[in-house]
Structure 1
Amino acid sequence: MYRAHFGIRHNMKDLLDAHITLGGRLGRGHKGLYDTINNSLYFQLGLALASVGVITSLVAQQMYSLLAYAFIAEDFTTQATLYTHHQYIAGFIMT
Structure 2
Amino acid sequence: MGQITLNIAGRNHQVGCRDGEEPKLRALGAMLDRHAPAVQHAAGGSSERTLLYIALILADQLTDRHPPESAGGNAELLEHVAERLEAVASALEEPVPDA
Q: TM-score w.r.t. structure 1 length?
A: 0.34
Is the radius of gyration larger for structure 1 or structure 2?
1
Higher fraction of strand: 2
